[in-house]
Structure 1
Amino acid sequence: MDDLQSLEEWVSPLLAKLTPKERRKLARTIATALRRRQRERIAHQRNPDGSEFEPRKPKKDQAGFVRRQPMFMKIRQAKYMKTQSDPHSAEVNFMGRVARIARIHQMGLRARVQPGGPSYDYPQRELLGYSEEDQRFIRDMVIDHLTL
């Protein structure tokens, strides 16, 4: 049994006692907190399991200097990383054009570097994911909400 399913089985009877309005509020709170946690993890260049992202290939600019800008600076902004929630679910996902970029990195797919340019096999970098620490975090949030 995977961790997400076990969390769902644990929390379902507790959530059934809440009104739809309370469940929606809790789901929105959880989704927002998870987005913040995902954004921080991406900023630290880490996969959900704690391993580091595979670094990008060095890229030289016109003067021959190697660019060392962190990956995914823009797509981790709330403008692109959206939350959705309703009384039955809470989710964090990427929207718009960056969703394609995120999917390529999330799954380690082959894609063109630029339109009409060469293709490249991108290494897998899990931008969105779920860890045991996230499971404990969600459990604690539910318990805190129910004790209020």
Structure 2
Amino acid sequence: MSADPLSQLESWAGVLLAKLEPPARRKLAVTIARELRRSQQQRIAAQRDAEGAPFVPRKPRLRERSGAIRRRAAMFSKLRTARWLRASGTADAAHVGFAGRVARIARVHQEGLRDRPVPNAHEVRYPRRAMLGFSDIDRERIRDLLWIHLSR
């Protein structure tokens, strides 16, 4: 068996899920995707990655206006809303990811890539801030949802 816990979960559940009809698998996938989106939203709000490490803080801007609202502004507050962080499921997969133009912004931060903060600016290397990922709690929750669904 693979050392990856998600692969272990997949191999364990694959046999059981193969016996379900496609509509039942789709319903389960949608439920899992919604739960994963909820946990990802909570983790992004807490400014932590899947392992529990805090996000690298923003660099201070040269001409930033002072004030309590500006200082307390959390990163990715709009990205974590259901408008941009989408959850969907099919009979074959559950999907949680960013939609639209913000997907590129999220990818730059997720992987720590280079990008221009505004048009015609110099390229900047963004630190890696993994917004999406599986934690041990997420894996346990998926396993629990599978048990609940299969015991009905």
Percent of aligned pairs with the same residue?
A: 48
Which of 95, 98, 104 is the equivalent residue of 1:100?
Answer: 104
Say if 2:60 is the partner of 1:58: yes
Letter matched to residue 87 of structure 1: A
Equivalent in the alignment of 1:84: 88
Q: TM-score, normalised by structure 2?
A: 0.91
Q: Number of paired residues?
A: 148
Find out whether 1:145 has 2:152 as its counterpart. Answer: no
- Report the Cα offset of residue 61 of structure 1: 5.0
Q: Which protein has the bigger strand share?
A: 1
Q: What value does the CA root-mean-square deviation take over the aligned residues?
A: 1.5
* Structure-1-length-normalised TM-score: 0.94
Matched with 2:120 is 116
- Describe the shift of the 1:146–1:70 C-alpha distance in structure 2 as closer, same or farther (beyond 3 A): same
Q: Structure 2 matches for 1:14-25, cutoff 5 A?
A: 14-25=16-27
Deviation at 1:63, TM superposition (A): 4.7
Aligned partner letter, 2:47 = Q
Q: Deviations over 1:70-107 (max 9, x none)?
A: 00011111001111211111010101110000000000
Question: Quick one: structure 1 residues 107 and 141, their matched pair in 2 at CA, closer, same or farther if it must change by over 3 Å?
Answer: same
Structure 1 position 72 matched with structure 2 position 76 = yes
